[in-house]
Structure 1
Amino acid sequence: MNPGWLYIVTNKPQGVLYTGVTSDLEGRIWEHRNHVYRGFTDSYNCTRLVWYEDYGDITDAIQREKQLKHWKRAWKIRLIEEMNPEWKDLFETIMS
């Protein structure tokens, strides 16, 4: 099995939300923060990790991502605030 992570990044508290999935959360968030790839997160400066879930198998993370992509914004905000009520950047907490 290949572990996976589902995550949400934003540009500011309650700003633009981007949901993604990866097998390397620390590396992927580093890429967002350093604008390694052009695209949505780069254009909107989504560099703050505000929520994540870990999965034993990346296929489960992908399934959950498909679910969240269809969620209303208010539901995603509630999910974030359950884990991170102050919308702190959680990047430092995941650093190994």
Structure 2
Amino acid sequence: MENKKFITQTWFVALAAFICCLLWGSAYPCIKIGYELFNIEASDLAGKFLFAGYRFTLAGLLVLLLCLITKKASQASHLKHGDRSSFLVFHKLHYNIYSFI
């Protein structure tokens, strides 16, 4: 009960909103810096897609790591076996598309 009171306090909500704005606002400049670091030209569509694939894969791995750290990964056990295998097939297809490009 105490935790809910903490999360709904005005200063916490304002701080969380400010951090979200900083993160979302920094995405575009960071992507442009990444293009420069990896020498991806403006006309290189395949390179941009590959870079996006790496970014989203890294983001997914970070979310999985966060789930493992906070012990929330056990909540994924309610998925049926078919759902998990579908996810793995989708991931493999996603990887193959980016490898082809």
> Normalised by the size of structure 1, how large is the TM-score?
0.27
The answer to which structure, 1 or 2, has the higher relative contact order (CA under 8 A, 6+ apart) is: 1
Q: Which has the higher helix share?
A: 2
Higher strand share: 1
TM-score by length of 2: 0.26
